[in-house]
Amino acid sequence: MREIKIAKNAGFCFGVKNAVETAEKMIHDYRGERLIMLGELTHNSKVVNDLLEGGFEIADNASEVPDNSLVIVRAHGITPNEMRILEQKKCKIFDCTCPFVKKIHNIVREQSLSGKNIIVIGTKGHPEVVGICGEAVNSEVAVISSTEELNSVKFPIDNCCIVSQTTFSKETFDKIVKNIKNKFAKITFFDTICNTTANRQREAAELSEVSDVMLVLGSSHSSNTKKLYDICASRLSETYLLESIDMLDELLSSGKVGSEARIGITAGASTPEIILLEVVRKMSENEINFGDYVDSIPQLRRNAVVKGAITSADDDYVYVDVRDKSEGRIPKEEFANDVDFDLDAAIAEKREIEVQVKSIKNTEFGKEIILSKQALEMSKNKAIVEQAFNDKKPVNVKVVRTTKKKDGLIAIYSGIEVYIHKTQIDLRPVSEDAIDSYIGQELTVLLTRFEEQDRRLKVSGSRRTLLSDELKAKKAATLSVLEVGKTITGKVKNFASFGAFIDIGGFEALLPNKYASWERNAKASDIMQEGDEVQVTVIDIADIEASRPKITLSYRKDEDNPYYNIEERIPVGSIVMGKVVRIIDWAAFIELEPGVDAQCHVSAISNVRIATPADVLKVGMDVKAKVLEIKDGKNDQKKILVSIKAVEPIDPENDEFYVPESSEEVAAEEVAEEVSAEENA
């Protein structure tokens, strides 16, 4: 006994079925009037002959249509110019253009008006392609059916729009698109191959690979039928195109179809089910009715749980083969929420998944089957989420979007949405401007709400609670080791005019500008940036028992102090060279090293009494002096006293008005001036 398998998507597509049913209704409703088919309604001689017997006439183009007649436009569509001609002839138009074809017309018209040239991947001269090309009113258009034909396009294609005939080979289309993408970056692609066509071609390929004989039913003039035949023949040599029952009789009598053969059957979009029925009856030894095959397909119902294979996706939906005439579709956002699901890999593998049927309804585009992957997973994952809530166990969630009001985030945990209010995202409320930056991030939260209201599960989470607990633990650990003189690592948080605030284990400590560097007038912001990790030393702690103790830090290091170990480098009694850098009334300041100044009293410059150091010294002058004394100064610096007179006194060139000083006068002046200097420093 022969094993017979029929492709689910064999036979009339929605567009052809709608056109044939409309024509049959016109015959019933408008008897005696001129009924015109603009071109053969379908590539099936039996269907066309039945319509002609019912009263229809065929016109090859709009100019041949009689005035005031009733005209049916087939699923392939027509050009805008032909439509204008029909309107001028005051015809009553029954436009049965397939909605998918109309979509292509709209795309081409919009892209053409925007200035883009058009490439149609399809069969030259095909009625559908002719209609599509007619929409290119503001640009050039070319039709190709292979990558080789790209070379024949006479206009630049680096910035054009590419569409496809709805019934074109998906396999060939993908090859052409891949070739173009490898060469040009600015091409706009629209994959306009009808889903039903793509599924029909895919099923034909799969069925031919598991059959001994493949039968393709339909007209040799039908584009989609010929493509089905090519697909099957490329995989199975025993593939036959049958245009009539008589051809089947010839095939059976030839002995090419064995009694034990596995037979696969598919049919083009223009082939009515009655022909499929006749073929099955002929092929079956037990007179199996075609209806038996239809009935064997599981009937979908709302809320049913079914398995199906993922076949394709567009911007809005993922399409699933659920063993029905029409594919089911799942909103694509359901997959975006599943961070572990690789959609591209699932499509490539035709991966089978379990889904729930949300709704089924008939529309002008055919049967619409809405599925949900998330709804089914909801019941499975609900227990996981509830357990985490009850155990108060932190969980990792992924943020997928903000709320419409921007008052919080929506994250996903085990396929279930978790709401995080903006006050619970961080230790401080997050602003509307900053909230979008969390999209795509993974956060650890504590589930704070789990309840069902009106059959809806409401789950909330808080990151702030965990951050607050972490901060308390961090502060406790910091306080246990915090002491004056301890060097610790901190992170620069922000700056103020008087210094920087450093995070040291949960506390914000102050680094005053004067403790940021040994350089005079330096600021913390000149030395470090926000976010830097720095080594700092605790120099003061106040209000240690308070929630916010006052902690003062220093970034300066002893070894960086210009006066560090100065007594060893420049000992008392040593002779030094220096440069005069500043002069005041009673003393000159001499730079011995970068950042190290010494003070030379006016009385220790010359052998004679001078009124001011400026009488004999100038800024920038190099001098030699003897170190007299080194003592502690302010801000961890040293005060170095030197004498020029003790080495090489500098006397005025004209000293007739100067007199030697008595030691008592000099001592009295030095004491008075040092006291004054200390008070003014």
User: Which residue numbers are catalytic?
Assistant: 128
- Helices and strands, number each (H, E), in the chain: 19, 32
Kindly state the tokens that stand for 273.
Answer: 């089910």
- Which residue, 266, 350, 345, is CA-closest to 308? 350
CA–chain centroid gap for 485, Å, is 49
- Residues 272, 248: contact at Cβ < 8 Å? no
Which tokens hold the place of 634? 């302010």
Nearest-10 crossing angle of helices 99-113, 14-29: 110
Q: How far is CA 294 from CA 8, 13, 612, in A?
A: 8, 16, 118
Single-letter code of the amino acid located at 138: N
Amino acid at 591: E
Q: Which residues contact 392 (CB under 8 A, 6 or more apart)?
A: 446, 447
Nearest to 579 by CA among 564, 598, 558, 562: 598
Query: Is 475 in contact with 486 (CB distance < 8 Å)?
Result: no
Residue written as token pair 């007209």: 219
Kindly state the helix (H) or strand (E) to which residue 508 belongs, with its residue range.
strand 507-512
Q: What is the separation, in whole angstroms, between the first and last Cα of the chain?
A: 115
Q: 264: which 2 tokens?
A: 């696969």
**Three-state secondary structure call for residue 439:** coil
Long-range contact list for 248-255, CB < 8 A, 24+ apart?
Answer: 248/215, 248/279, 248/282, 248/283, 249/282, 252/282, 252/283
Length of the chain: 681
In sequence order, the 6+-apart residues with CB closer than 8 A to the CB of 81 are: 62, 134
3-class secondary-structure state, position 241:
strand
Nearest by Cα to 174 from 164, 160, 185: 164
Residue 672 phi/psi, 5-degree rounding, is -65, -40
Q: Which amino acid is at 124?
A: K
- Listed in order, strand segments (DSSP E) in 364-426 are 366-372, 395-402, 408-413, 416-421
CA distance to 10, 248, 678, per residue, from 76 (Å): 19, 29, 102
139 and 118 in contact (C-beta within 8 Å)? yes
